[in-house]
């Protein structure tokens, strides 16, 4: 009996080892293909699955559109999206899996912590990397990495300025996710800028990934502090609970969110009357009137049955940005990842793109995007642009 157990485990080891080695050699270095191979990385399982899935869906949509229209200069795009479960180590595995597949350009990763790690890897390979949504400044320290979204400090800064300049409130409370790089990054900068602008922070409360069901305490402290405005640099999943609980308590400050708040109206079965009057700074609004946004939203809804959030919009733009960069340089798909990286990163500062997340987006030396966030307010269950 024991020997069989051993035999089994040994044979399993062999099978796995062999299957791991299958398809080695040959493919190294990308090249020699007739298609552009673009890879994507993000969480499609685990707690952050909602973001990775949105990016994956939207990117596939964009790729299909481009291919249906004849590809880039007649060459098709192949797209493969790998799951990283929002974990640094698994993101490296995903990156290597894509490299084994022959990836030439990386559109990812979706979340910040894994992205910082992968950015180190792409820098070593000189692979062109464009992240749709990893917003920390650490992501773009290398010259081969670019962002479609705003950086975190930028969002904190702009939010505080907007609140102070428009005199929305004097007393501000914050609820943020202290275990998230995204949220604590915005919070940190917001607090600094608020001090400069003379905003009084009456409550600065946190929650963590492990205790994000109940926000009554944080809200109570904000209310006791007499907050006129509640700044929420968090994602809409938690924000929807906060809105519900604040409503139960009868606490009615101005709610002010950032790009993570976008999507709150798309939550299935959400009572949008709760979000009435919520303000947010976002580059993307799913019910914007312009044609590009409407086409994207319609196509996304047809394909996946839900309204795209800001992650999806960033990813959709990311693919078109890559397309524009390829067209600008005229690189052919037979180049290796490193050669393609050299060509693409040199033209990024010359591009100006009209996408669904912003008009005439440009990139600075750092790799950060320059686009203007829209301040919108939710009225009658829809976004309305503010001055």
Partner 1 sequence: MKDKFNFLKNSSVKSMFVTYAIVIVAYLVMEALMFTGSVNYLLMDLLVPLCVYSIVAIGLCLCVGYLGELSLGHAGFMCIGAFTSATFSSLTKEFISNEIVAFLLAFVIGTIFAGLFGFLIGIPVLRLRGDYLAIVTLAFGEIIKNIINVLFIGKDSKGIHVAIVDPDALKMEADGKYIINGAKGISGTPHLSNFTIGVILILISLFIVYNLVHSRSGRAVMAIRDNRIAAESVGLNVTGYKLMAFSISAAIAGAGGVLYAHNLSTLTATPANFGYNMSIMILVFVVLGGMRSFRGSIIAAVLLTMLPEMLRGLSDYRMLIYSVVLIAMMLFNWSPKFKELRSKYAGVFKRNKKSKEAV
Partner 2 sequence: MSFISYLINGISLGSIYAIIALGYTMVYGIAKMLNFAHGDVIMIGCYVVFTTVTGLGLNPYLSILLSVIVCTVLGVVIEKIAYKPLRKAPPLAVLITAIGVSYFLQNFALLIFGADTKSFTSVIPMNNIKLAGDKLVISGVAMVTVCICIVIMLALMTFIKRTKAGQAMLAVSEDKDAAQLMGVNVNGTISLTFAIGSGLAAIAGVLLCSAYPTLTPYTGSMPGIKAFTAAVFGGIGSIPGAFIGGILLGIIEILGKAYISSQLSDAIVFAVLIIVLLVRPTGILGKAVHEKV
The one-character DSSP state at 271 is -
Query: Is the distance from CB of 130 to CB of 142 less than 8 angstroms?
Result: no
- C-alpha to C-alpha distance for 317 and 126, rounded to whole angstroms: 22
Query: Is the distance from CB of 229 to CB of 164 less than 8 angstroms?
Result: no
Among 237, 294, 362, 366, binds partner 2 (CB under 8 A): 237
Q: Which of residues 74-113 bind partner 1 (CB under 8 A)?
A: 82-83, 85-90, 92-94, 96-97, 99-100, 113
- C-alpha to C-alpha distance for 277 and 188, rounded to whole angstroms: 25
Query: Is the distance from CB of 58 to CB of 81 less than 8 angstroms?
Result: no
Per CB under 8 A, 366 contacts partner 1:
no
- C-alpha to C-alpha distance for 51 and 379, rounded to whole angstroms: 25
Nearest distance in Å: CB 358, partner 2: 24
Per CB under 8 A, 377 contacts partner 2:
no
Rounding to the nearest 10 degrees, give the CA dihedral for residues 356, 342, 366, 282: 10
Sheet of strand 353-355: strand arrangement = 353-355, 358-363, 369-370
- Count of beta carbons in the 10 Å neighbourhood of residue 37: 20
- Binding part of the chain for partner 2, among 87-95, 100-108, 111-119, 208-216 by CB under 8 A, reads 208-216
Among 59, 66, 116, 369, binds partner 1 (CB under 8 A): 116
Per CB under 8 A, 3 contacts partner 2:
no
Q: Specify the residue, 4 or 167, whose C-beta has the smaller distance to partner 1.
A: 4
**Cis before 173 (ω within 30):** no
Nearest distance in Å: CB 215, partner 2: 9
Per CB under 8 A, 387 contacts partner 2:
no
Q: Which element (helix H / strand E) includes 360?
A: strand 358-363
Nearest distance in Å: CB 103, partner 1: 10
Among 3, 213, 380, 387, binds partner 2 (CB under 8 A): 213
Per CB under 8 A, 120 contacts partner 1:
yes
Among 31, 35, 46, 303, binds partner 1 (CB under 8 A): 46
- C-alpha to C-alpha distance for 154 and 158, rounded to whole angstroms: 6
The one-character DSSP state at 342 is H
Q: How many residues bind partner 1 (CB under 8 A)?
A: 51
- Count of beta carbons in the 10 Å neighbourhood of residue 52: 29
Per CB under 8 A, 138 contacts partner 1:
yes
Q: Specify the residue, 178 or 273, whose C-beta has the smaller distance to partner 1.
A: 178
Sheet of strand 145-147: strand arrangement = 77-83, 36-42, 105-108, 128-131, 145-147
Of partner 1, partner 2, none, which one sits near residue 85, judging by CB under 5 to 8 A according to partner kind?
partner 1
The residues binding partner 1 (CB under 8 A) are 1-5, 7, 9, 12-13, 16, 19-21, 23-25, 44-47, 82-83, 85-90, 92-94, 96-97, 99-100, 113, 116-117, 120, 136, 138, 178-181, 184-185, 188, 208-210
Interface contacts to partner 2, rule CB under 8 A: 44-47, 49-50, 52-54, 178, 205-208, 210-214, 216-218, 220-221, 224, 236-238, 240-241, 244-245, 248-250, 266-271, 306
């Amino acid at each position: 009996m024991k020997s069989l157990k051993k035999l089994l485990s040994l044979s399993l080891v062999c099978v796995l080892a062999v299957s791991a080695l299958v398809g080695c050699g040959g493919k190294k270095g990308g090249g020699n293909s007739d298609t552009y191979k673009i890879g994507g990385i993000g969480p499609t399982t685990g707690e952050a699955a909602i973001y990775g899935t949105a990016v994956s869906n939207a990117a596939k949509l964009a790729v299909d559109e481009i291919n249906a229209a004849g590809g880039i200069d007649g060459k098709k795009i192949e797209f493969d999206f790998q799951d990283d479960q929002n974990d640094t180590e698994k993101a490296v595995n995903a990156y290597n899996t894509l490299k084994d597949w022959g990836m030439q350009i990386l559109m990812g990763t979706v979340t910040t912590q894994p992205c910082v790690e992968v950015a180190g890897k792409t820098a070593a390979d000189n692979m062109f990397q464009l992240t749709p949504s990893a917003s920390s400044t650490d992501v773009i320290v290398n010259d081969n990495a670019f962002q479609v979204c705003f950086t975190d400090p930028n969002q904190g800064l702009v939010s505080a300025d907007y609140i102070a300049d428009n005199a929305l409130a004097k007393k501000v409370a914050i609820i943020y996710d202290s275990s998230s790089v995204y949220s604590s990054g915005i919070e940190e900068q917001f607090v600094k800028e608020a001090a400069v602008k003379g905003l009084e922070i009456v409550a600065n409360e946190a929650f963590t990934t492990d205790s994000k069901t109940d926000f009554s305490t944080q809200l109570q402290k904000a209310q006791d502090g007499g907050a006129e405005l509640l700044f929420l640099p968090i994602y809409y999943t938690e924000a929807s609970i906060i809105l519900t609980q604040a409503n139960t308590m009868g606490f009615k400050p101005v709610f002010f969110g950032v790009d993570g708040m976008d999507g709150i109206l798309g939550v299935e079965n959400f009572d949008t009357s709760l979000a009435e009057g919520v303000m947010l700074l976002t580059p993307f609004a799913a019910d914007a009137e312009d044609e590009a946004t409407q086409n994207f939203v319609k196509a996304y809804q047809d394909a996946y049955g839900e309204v795209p959030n800001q992650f999806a919009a960033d990813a959709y733009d990311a693919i078109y940005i890559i397309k524009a960069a390829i067209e600008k340089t005229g690189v052919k798909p037979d180049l290796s990842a490193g050669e393609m990286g050299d060509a693409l990163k040199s033209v990024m500062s010359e591009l100006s793109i009209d996408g669904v997340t912003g008009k005439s987006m440009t990139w600075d030396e750092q790799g950060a995007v320059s686009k203007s966030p829209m301040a919108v307010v939710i009225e009658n269950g829809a976004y309305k642009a503010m001055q």
